[in-house]
Chains A and B, each alone.
Chain A
Amino acid sequence: MTGSRTGKSLTKYKIVFLGEQGVGKTSLITRFMYDTFDDHYQATIGIDFLSKTMYLDDKTIRLQLWDTAGQERFRSLIPSYIRDSHVAIVVYDVTNKKSFEYIDKWVEDVKSERGEENVVLCIVGNKNDLADERQVSTEEGERKAQVLNAKIFIETSTKAGFNVKNLFRKIAKTLPEFQKSDTVPLDDKFPANKPDVIDITTNNDDEEQTSCQC
């Protein structure tokens, strides 16, 4: 029975956020979820979880966002969460060269857990609004993404709300749900009007993004 009495079928996708401490993993999620930004830094303890229903191209999916702590002492927990993730987003801070260099280690962790093919690997350069403090150029980021065989590279600014929806739209488009052309829309009503759904069909942050789809 697929009637409304038993709800709608909804595919869930696990996305794990990785990266050094303070690169903006939590703020990336907060910007996507609530479209807000908090200036006060608060370290994540353990692993945080948030989930959101997302609407794109007449299809609705459920994203489970696993926000990992960047602190060293929580590192041992992270592989257990990469183990069954569909998407791994490795975040670095464009104003912090070291966080960029550590990408390799994170990607290695992802590949050792999920292999090369079973995961959508994204590399995200955050804080790109801080142009004066930039230590990693966009080209460097793109090159690294190519070398690491990342499917998506994008620079974002969670503070300015730049490219955040774009990132999730790109991720969504790589998911099997959006690869199948014959998939029937899951909801005949336009669900973007519903309060618990994020509609990323319309590009609200229309800024011209300086990124490449590797």
Chain B
Amino acid sequence: MDFLDYQTYALGDSSENDNQLPEPASRLKFQSQRSFVELDKPFTLPSSKPTEFINDNNGTLQEKMQRYASMSLDQLGSAATSLLTGADLPVPFGGALPRDGNLKQLLESSDSTPNSADSLLSKKLSRVLGAHGRPSSISAAQLEKSFMILEDNRENLNFHSQAITRPDFVGSLARKSLRSALENELLRSHLTLIEDIQPIVGRIKRLTPPITTIKHISDEILHGSSCNKKDSALNMEGIYALRKKMKELQLQKQLLSIIREKLTLTQVEEEALINAPIDTDFFEVVNKLMRIKETSSHLLALENPKAGQSLLQQTNMKLSGASKRIYNYLINFFYDLQSASKTFGERAFASDDRSLINFQKSMIYMSNDLPLFNEVLKKIVRLRSQRVLDDFLSQFDVDPSKNSRPIVMSAHDPVRYLGDVLAHVHSLIVDEADFMNSMFKFQDLKIEGTPKSVLQENGDYLNGLGTNLLNETFKPAENSIRIRLEQIIRFEDDPSINFDICELLKLYQMMFIKYGIDPEGSFIRQLNTLKNNSGDKVMSGLLTLMNEHVPEEKIGLELLPSDWLLNYMTNLCKILSKIEKSGNAETSNYLIESDFLQKTLDTLIIERLPQYYQTHFPLAKKDKEEKVKLLIFEINSLDLILTRLLPFGLILDGHESGCRKELQNAIKTLVTLESGVLLERLGMDIYSNLLNMIFPIDSVEDELDYDMYLPVSENPIMKIETIRANVYDKLNGNLPNLNSDVQDALVLNVVSPTIADEIANSCFKNLSKFYKVFRETLVRLYPNSIDDIFSILNFTSEDFDTIVGVV
């Protein structure tokens, strides 16, 4: 490649200005390039004057040039040159540019003033073109290629073909610039090439000695006679061994790098562990430490566990430091919370509160260090317990200035006082449960990056932590609560009130358990003890009432039930009514299922009342009248009991049957006694005894039964005259008033008219039956003295029934 040299193609009349022009860059010397071709044939410019040419293709180059020049000038002449601006116009050789002239004028002027520039240009072109035809010069293809390259890089080189071809100074300058640009471009490309080659050269130089050595060695191996086969084999094995060892070392290095990354903390992490706030960054480091700990346990399985032990020791130390930091954070957090609550009132966290999440995360991490974790819990419990206790006790402070509504013990309504206390405790429990649930609800917490083991191992415990803390929080307050309740329960003797207390405690136990209080915990146990105490006092209160009758108490003539029995039954019925109100048996199971009714009812009927009768009717066994009184009193008492128990049939479930049986026995006995008294009044008692001894009167049913009595005729009292003496007067004297007398006496004493009627009816029925059997027996005994018999027993059976009122 060569450079075009238009150096001399400059203005001929400006030799002075030539010196001011930039010096052309020195020509690059490439040995491979051919030097400039010399022109030996002069070139003459074709005439610019218009000439007529014959249109043929023949002629010399000079002629062709002449023809084309002429044609070009014609074209130019005909074209309007007015469009050309001053800058585009060719500069005349005189140096002054004809601003408003046309090209023709310019050519004419140039023609008229031929100068040395023309001749120089001619010379140059002749050299360029003249060399065209020579074999040694640049081939046409090469030239074309060169121009095409120029054309392609037109923009890069800032190449203006018009300016370059201008013969004036501007042209010269443009050409010089082009040359300079071309040289720069070429230099740059060469430098790039050299730079590209440089490393290759360097490498070649570096590799040359070893390659030469290898070449020598190989030459020696291939051609040397001193080396034998065995040696070469040994060497190869050595090489393989070394290569293997190298690979092993590389793997070892890789492994060690990974281990270092996995098992050690970076400086930033170390710093975060010690100084960063308890937040995400800190937890990330702790996570890493935990992972290291997990991994280090694998190292312990190695033959030499020293590395594992050492790593584990270090990690544990760091984790312990982290735990202490978390511990301090948690304690501070709770103290802040507590003091803020005291100063600014109740605090609350939204579930997505960042500080709350941080706190919960800290608790989770803390759970790995059980001693510290327990310490934190203890402190939390202590703070919360204090708050609960203060709050509880404040309810009893009477401070008019605070417009407070304290819980005041009311003598007439102890149940209300207990209700207020328990309701306040209930409110404290739900408040605390609410707080604990908001603070210690871990199951919804997503802790990214936390080693699974933390949540897996401690998950169950952590999830129940709120409830556990709630129970722990109430432990210190338990005694105060118990004392407040006990001071009422201990001194309350009314069984009905105790029953209410018992029910109240039972209900609150259920409600407390509902909000998280442990059913097996000490608080519920204490409430249960109080409940049982009051339950027991229901029983003992009733038994006291049962036993508290005054020995000197006298029974009135009316034979009405005693006051103590009335009082006892009133209380018992109150309780039964409450049991019934409580809805169903299951809410009062403990009363129904236990021996409550047995103790309260059966004992009364089987033990207490007979004792009472014995005390107050000591002569009843001897004195018939006393016995009747006793029986009437017994009937009245039992009737009272049964009447009072009547509405509670469902609860009693047959327990009153014993009482009913006793009543029936008493009535039966009274009927027997009264019947005897009536027979005595009629003078027939001895005959009744006699006949009953042979065959019970009640059992007489048909005619043949009367035959059983035939042997009595041998008895002297059965003589008609004796019978007349014994019976007639009494029968006729007493029978008409017998009914009214008996009715009056019974109604007066037996409270229940139904029972009184029943007794009277039974007595008269017995009397009637006996009269009938006695009369019939006598008729059969003395068939010949029927008139006498009818004169003694002068009432027919029907008349007798009518008089005594038996239907």
A contact set with B: CB distance below 8 Å: 1-2, 4-12, 14, 45-47, 49, 51, 53, 62, 64, 71-74, 76-77, 79-81, 83-84, 187, 191, 194-197
* Given A11-B345, A46-B510, A76-B415: A194 touches B351 (CB 8 Å cut-off): yes
> CA separation between A30 and B346, bound complex, in Å?
25
Interface string of B490-513 (1 = CB under 8 A from A): 000000000010001001101100
User: B400-440, CB under 8 A of A: which get 1 and which 0?
Assistant: 00000100000000011001101110110011001000000
A196–B350 Cα distance when bound, in Å, is 7
Cβ A80 vs Cβ B420 within 8 A: yes
Contact residues in A for B420 (Cβ distance below 8 Å) = 80, 83
Contact B582 A76 (CB under 8 A): no
Q: Closest B-chain residue to A6, C-beta based?
A: B340
- A81 to B344, alpha carbons, bound, how many Å? 25
Known: A10-B346, A73-B582, A77-B423. A1 touches B340 (CB 8 A): yes
**How distant is B483 from chain A, measured CB to nearest CB, in Å?**
19
B488 → A minimal CB distance (Å): 14
Name the A residues within 8 Å of B230 (CB-CB): none
Closest to B418 in A: A80
Residues of A within 8 A of B240 (CB): none
A4 to chain B, nearest CB (A): 5
The answer to whether B419 and A9 have CB atoms under 8 Å apart is no
Alpha-carbon distance between A47 and B337 when the two chains are bound, in angstroms: 30
Residues of B within 8 A of A81 (CB): 423
List 25 A-B pairs, Cβ < 8 Å.
Answer: A2-B340, A4-B354, A6-B337, A7-B348, A7-B349, A9-B344, A9-B347, A10-B346, A12-B346, A45-B507, A46-B507, A46-B510, A46-B511, A47-B423, A53-B348, A62-B346, A62-B348, A76-B504, A81-B423, A83-B405, A84-B427, A187-B350, A196-B350, A196-B351, A197-B350
* Complex: A1 Cα to B336 Cα, angstroms: 7
B698 within 8 A of A: no
Within the complex, the shortest CB–CB distance from B212 to chain A, in Å, comes to 76
* B interface residues (Cβ-Cβ under 8 A, vs A): 333, 336-337, 339-341, 344-356, 405, 415-416, 419-420, 422-424, 426-427, 430-431, 434, 500, 504, 507-508, 510-511, 515, 581-583
Task: Indicate whether A80 sits within 8 Å of B422 (C-beta atoms), given known contacts A6-B340, A12-B346, A46-B511.
Answer: yes
Query: Are B350 and A8 interface neighbours, CB within 8 A?
Result: yes
Chain B residues with CB under 8 A of A84: 405, 424, 427
| Distance (whole angstroms) from the CB of B508 to the closest CB of chain A | 8
Residue of chain B at shortest CB distance from A79: B416
Q: Tell whether A5 pairs with B333 under 8 Å between CB atoms, given A10-B346, A53-B348, A84-B405.
A: yes
Chain A CB within 10 Å, residue with most, of B337, B430, B581: B430
Max chain A C-beta neighbours (<10 A), residue from B336, B348, B353, B419: B348
B510 touches A73 (CB 8 A): no
How close is B591's CB to chain A, nearest CB, in angstroms?
15
Q: Interface majority SS on B: helix, strand, loop or mixed?
A: helix
B431 to chain A: which residues have CB within 8 Å? Answer: 12, 64
What 9 pairs across the A-B complex have the smallest Cβ distances?
A80-B423, A10-B348, A7-B347, A6-B340, A7-B349, A80-B419, A49-B430, A80-B420, A5-B355
B680 to chain A, nearest CB (A): 58
How far is it, in angstroms, between the C-alpha of A76 and the C-alpha of B507 when the chains are bound?
12
Q: Is the CB of A49 within 8 A of B515?
A: yes
* Contact yes or no, A194 B423, CB < 8 A: no
With a CB–CB cut-off of 8 A, which chain A residues contact B427? 14, 64, 84
Q: Are B353 and A4 in contact (CB under 8 A)?
A: yes
| Chain A residues, CB < 8 A from B344 | 2, 9
Apart from A4-B353, A73-B583, list 10 A-B contacts with CB within 8 A: A7-B355, A11-B345, A47-B511, A51-B430, A77-B419, A80-B423, A83-B405, A84-B424, A187-B350, A195-B352
